[in-house]
A = this chain, B = another copy of it.
Amino acid sequence: LNTDIHTHIVPSSFPEGLRTGAGSIEVRQTCDCGRADVWVDGKKFRTIDSESWDVAQRLEAMDRSRIDRQLLSPMPELLAYWLPLDRAVEIAAHVNEALVQMVSRAPGRFLALGMAPLQDPERAVLEVERLAAMPGVCGIEIGTNVNGVPIGDPRFDPFFAAAARHDLAVFVHALRPAGVERLVGPPMLTGLAAFPCETALAAVSMITGGVMARHPSLRLAFSHGGGALAMVLPRLDRGFDVLPALREAVAVKPSAQARKFFYDTLVFDPPTLRFLIDRLGVTQLCLGTDRPFALQEEDPVGAVEALGLSAADTALLLSANAARFIGR
């Protein structure tokens, strides 16, 4: 089963209570053109394709791309960590319900990564417990930080403990990244240049913060090949080798910990993907497409097949690694 671990959804509408007031969110379908605008807090956030919510179109696109199964996760901006808890809980309930509905329309083709209000880790645990009981849910999508606090901060331990306890996979996606003040040029650079660094720093925080050491059964995947992580690891390893204070804090070599994370394949460059396979492990990379958003591979399955791996290794990347990540 070719399994795509990185796709996003937006519900076709939001309940009236969420469409007004501070932190409002609305999907405006202004035409019959198959597109809609997402408005967040009274500002147009992004124009999306109806594939974001339309199961039939999604299945067609999957068939064209030879993708048997998609993990559906919320458009990251829906994670709403920055909103008051009550509203974030309402959004989570609505989005998680939309995810479950989409999965129920084609249960063999979809599984869901739900969302939880991590601005309140204890409340997020309740949502994890709700998600664990929902049909078709295999995990949770989280951002790389929660209002600037990296996910490796110990305050999120109860959440990660709950995910591990309920056997839910955790998919980490860049969100409101660090370093945007270092960009010079058009606004899209945030997603292009700051996201990879943000993703690397989030992964590092899970290692150096000891989260993986405390929750060894946690199954965690990072989007976009882990961003810039692979270029940070050798320096971190060197620090681990020569600086006693780091070795004491981290216990297990950073690159060895990184080889327990999963990553998607969405790096847009075959030599870079081969490098990641070499450094992070052929058992840890999973097909990912970021569908239906702008920066995709034309033929994501073909791109993996064209890497020149053995048939067995190609099958790991296209299906078996994802199955291990989600545990099914």
Which residues in A have some Cβ–Cβ distance to B below 8 Å? 144-145, 148, 150, 152-154, 178-179, 181-186, 188-189, 191-198, 200-202, 204-205, 208-210, 224-225, 227-239, 242-243, 245-246, 249-250, 267-269, 271-272, 275, 278-279, 294-295
Contact between chains at A205 and B192 (CB < 8 Å): no
Give the residue name and chain of the B residue nearest to A206 (CB): B184
Q: List the 3 closest A-B pairs by CB distance, nearest first.
A: A228-B228, A184-B209, A185-B208
Contact between chains at B250 and A185 (CB < 8 Å): yes
Contact between chains at B182 and A268 (CB < 8 Å): no
Q: Which residues of chain B are near A189, meaning CB under 8 Å? A: 204, 208, 246
Contact between chains at B295 and A242 (CB < 8 Å): yes
Smallest CB–CB gap between A180 and chain B, Å? 8
Contact between chains at B197 and A184 (CB < 8 Å): no
Tally of this chain's copies: 2
Other A-B pairs, 15, CB within 8 Å; known A182-B204, A227-B231:
A150-B182, A150-B184, A182-B205, A183-B201, A183-B208, A184-B208, A185-B209, A188-B245, A188-B246, A189-B204, A192-B246, A196-B200, A197-B232, A229-B231, A230-B231
Smallest CB–CB gap between A52 and chain B, Å? 18
Bound-state CA distance A205–B198 (Å) is: 16
Contact between chains at B279 and A234 (CB < 8 Å): no
Q: List 16 A-B contacts (CB under 8 A).
A: A148-B181, A150-B183, A178-B178, A179-B179, A185-B205, A185-B208, A185-B210, A189-B208, A193-B204, A193-B208, A196-B231, A197-B232, A235-B267, A235-B268, A237-B268, A242-B295
Q: Which residues of chain B are near A239, meaning CB under 8 Å? A: 188, 191-192, 295
Bound-state CA distance A208–B186 (Å) is: 8
Bound-state CA distance A201–B228 (Å) is: 11
Smallest CB–CB gap between A252 and chain B, Å? 13
Contact between chains at A224 and B230 (CB < 8 Å): no
Known contacts A192-B239, A268-B234: A200-B186 contact under CB 8 Å = no
Contact between chains at B201 and A193 (CB < 8 Å): yes
Bound-state CA distance A188–B271 (Å) is: 31
Bound-state CA distance A253–B60 (Å) is: 33
Contact between chains at A275 and B271 (CB < 8 Å): yes
Q: Which residues of chain B are near A232, meaning CB under 8 Å? A: 192-193, 196-197, 228
Q: Which residues of chain B are near A243, meaning CB under 8 Å? A: 188, 294
Bound-state CA distance A123–B193 (Å) is: 31
Q: Which of A184, A232, A246, A269 has the most CB of B within 10 A?
A: A184
